[in-house]
């Protein structure tokens, strides 16, 4: 009987909160009642306080949750705010003599009080005019788990709520509260309703209720809801892994497109391709710095300017490398490899001298922040979605340039038969420079994209150059379609194997597969078609 009366005393104030209007100003005795005494008495006092809140109630409860409440020897409740003390009831500064300050006591909380305090803070926000605050409060009540003392509070919020998203969250919070009801019928209905929520928090709550539940019918309902939640979350995890693989594949595609020009079409083993990506990333960083200093109001648009700048910066460096070094080494792959490796070291050291050896910070625009939630447990980062769309746009531009422009025609002619193309009046030396600059510019675009998802430093390109070569070789030399399929295939294979054998073994397994594949099919997925192969 005594336990029933205590539970009723703790429950009644929460029920009154749904109906009570704003009451009198917070007083010191009210503040003292929630920080001193037995746990049941403090919970009852907390419920009475929240049932008739004023402007100071939320401040008091938040300070209590942050463990910033102090109790004086004469039983006054104070709030510690930095180096000052405030009266908990009025918020006025309080000055204490040194001996009184040394006698201040900290207000202690146990786990039960913390749970009630979280629910009280959430309850105060249920009537907020801000939809996001009400939604956060409803989710906090859901996370707080089963406590049927909050049902009346949630029912009052449901009666006033107009937004469907908040209503759904409130109904789930109500089901979570009813899951602890002594009424078996209510627990059974709550168990079925919780199966409609497919969040990790609901799975945890169902597991907790299943461990405490004794009724067989309710246990069966809890297990059924738990299976439903786990199935949905499993699908979210699978789709998330696929998206991660496609995201990695889009990055590999951006990196490999430039290499498909310099290596696939021109036959140049360019070991400095990663450093050309690095130049594009640093160009993006410089554009960001310029916008922050001279156009702070348009900072969110800096990436629009950084795309052409990164392309031009890497293209100009690539053209300079081709005219000064690489043009003398065509047809000599080993010398080209060694020369471009030396150039990569020189470029890295040059960047270290200009910007330092440490990584630089590149901040994404605000519109690239956040994520797109499609399923519970499946949130697609916006920056990755933007990079996938960007990679497809670059691929489409490349395909049009190679197939529909005069430069693309010249590049294909020189690739298939350089002597005949020269006899037909094609300026082969100039085409080589343009093609190498194009491939370098594409590397710069890859660097611009990578700056939005990772660190920008002198070693940026080293982690992608081997994968890029594997993409080009696997797809088929000079074949854009093969490059696309190889990039997506390697991205998906890497992420699929990582979940089974780990990142390192996944890389080794993919490399072994490519070695075996190239042994069986040296031309890659797609072979180059030309007169030399047809005869």
Whether 465 shows a pLDDT value over 50: the answer reads yes
Within 8 A by CB and 6+ apart from 272, the residues are 321, 340, 341, 343, 344, 347
Q: Give per-residue pLDDT as tens, 69-84.
A: 888 888 888 888 877 8
Per-residue pLDDT, 108: 82
Q: Three-state DSSP class for 376?
A: coil
Within 8 A by CB and 6+ apart from 361, the residues are 456
- The neighbouring-strand residues paired with 94 are 85
Average the pLDDT over each of 15-24, 112-121, 321-330, 424-433 and give the range with the smallest value.
15-24
Q: Give per-residue pLDDT as tens, 144-166.
A: 655 666 676 677 778 888 887 78
Whether 467 shows a pLDDT value over 80: the answer reads yes
Average the pLDDT over each of 150-164, 264-278, 327-341, 408-422 and give the range with the smallest value.
150-164
Most confident of 200-204, 283-287, 516-520: 283-287
Per-residue pLDDT, 346: 93
Tell me the pTM. 0.70
Burial of 202 (C-beta count, 10 Å sphere; 0-12/13-18/19+): buried
Per-residue pLDDT, 301: 92
Counting other chains too, the contacts that 67-73 makes at CB distance below 8 Å and 24 or more residues apart are 67/106, 67/107, 67/109, 69/35, 69/106, 69/107, 70/104, 70/105, 70/106, 70/107, 71/35, 71/36, 71/104, 71/105, 71/106, 71/107, 72/96, 72/100, 72/103, 72/104, 72/105, 73/100, 73/103
- Taking residues 406-433, what's their average pLDDT? 85
Per-residue pLDDT, 403: 87
Average pLDDT of the chain to the nearest whole number: 82
Task: Return d(Cα 340, Cα 319) in angstroms, integer.
Answer: 13
Q: Three-state DSSP class for 82?
A: coil
Residue 149 has a CB neighbour count (10 Å cut-off) of 22
Q: Which residue is listed with tokens 């197939």?
A: 403
Domain extents in the chain: 2-216, 253-370+410-530
Residue 222 or 143, more confident: 222
Read off the pLDDT band of 25 (50, 70, 90).
Answer: confident
Whether 516 shows a pLDDT value over 90: the answer reads no
Task: Return d(Cα 87, Cα 28) in angstroms, integer.
Answer: 8
Closest CA to 319 of 469, 439, 462: 439
């Amino acid at each position: 009987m005594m336990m029933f009366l205590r539970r009723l005393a703790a429950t009644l104030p929460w029920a009154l909160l749904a109906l009570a209007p704003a009451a009198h100003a917070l007083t010191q005795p009210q503040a003292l009642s929630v920080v001193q005494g037995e746990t049941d008495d403090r919970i009852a006092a907390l419920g009475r306080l929240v049932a008739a809140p004023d402007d100071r109630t939320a401040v008091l409860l938040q300070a209590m949750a942050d463990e910033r409440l102090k109790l004086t020897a004469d039983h006054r409740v104070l709030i510690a705010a930095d180096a000052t003390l405030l009266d908990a009831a009025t918020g006025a500064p309080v000055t204490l003599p040194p001996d009184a300050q040394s006698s201040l006591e900290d207000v202690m909380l146990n786990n039960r009080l913390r749970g009630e305090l979280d629910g009280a803070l959430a309850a105060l926000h249920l009537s907020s005019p801000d939809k996001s605050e009400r939604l956060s409060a409803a989710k906090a009540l859901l996370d707080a788990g089963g406590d049927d003392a909050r049902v009346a509070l949630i029912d009052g919020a449901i009666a006033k709520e107009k937004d469907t998203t908040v209503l759904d969250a409130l109904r789930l919070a109500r089901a979570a509260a009813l899951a602890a009801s002594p009424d078996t019928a209510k627990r059974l209905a709550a168990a079925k309703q919780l199966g409609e929520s497919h969040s990790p928090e609901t799975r945890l709550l169902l597991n907790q209720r299943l461990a405490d539940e004794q009724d067989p019918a309710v246990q069966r309902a809890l297990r059924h809801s738990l299976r439903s939640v786990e199935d949905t979350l499993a699908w979210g995890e699978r789709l998330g892994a696929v998206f991660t693989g496609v995201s990695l594949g889009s990055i590999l595609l951006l990196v490999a497109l430039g290499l498909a020009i310099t290596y696939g079409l021109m036959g140049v083993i360019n070991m400095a391709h990663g450093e050309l990506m690095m130049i594009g990333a640093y160009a993006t960083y410089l554009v960001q710095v310029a916008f922050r200093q001279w156009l702070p109001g348009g900072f969110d648009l800096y990436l629009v300017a950084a795309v052409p700048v990164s392309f031009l910066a890497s293209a100009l460096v690539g053209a300079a490398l081709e005219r000064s070094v690489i043009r003398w080494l065509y047809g000599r792959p080993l010398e080209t490899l060694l020369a471009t490796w030396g150039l990569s070291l020189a470029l890295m050291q040059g960047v270290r001298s200009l910007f330092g050896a440490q990584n630089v910070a590149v901040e994404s625009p605000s519109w690239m922040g956040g994520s797109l939630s499609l399923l519970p447990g499946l949130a697609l980062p916006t920056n990755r979605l933007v990079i996938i769309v960007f990679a497809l746009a670059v691929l489409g531009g490349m395909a049009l340039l190679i197939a529909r422009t005069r430069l693309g025609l010249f590049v294909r002619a020189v690739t298939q038969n350089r002597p005949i193309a020269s006899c037909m009046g094609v300026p082969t030396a100039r085409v080589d420079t343009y093609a190498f600059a194009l491939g370098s510019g594409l590397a710069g675009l890859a660097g611009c994209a990578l700056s939005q998802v990772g660190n920008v430093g002198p070693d940026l390109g080293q982690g992608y150059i081997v994968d890029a070569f594997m993409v080009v070789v696997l797809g088929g030399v000079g074949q854009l379609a093969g490059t696309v399929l190889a990039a997506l295939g390697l991205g998906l294979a890497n992420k699929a194997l990582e979940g089974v054998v780990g990142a390192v073994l996944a890389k080794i397994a993919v490399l072994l597969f490519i070695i075996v594949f190239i042994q069986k099919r040296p031309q890659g997925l797609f072979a180059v078609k030309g007169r030399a192969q047809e005869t």
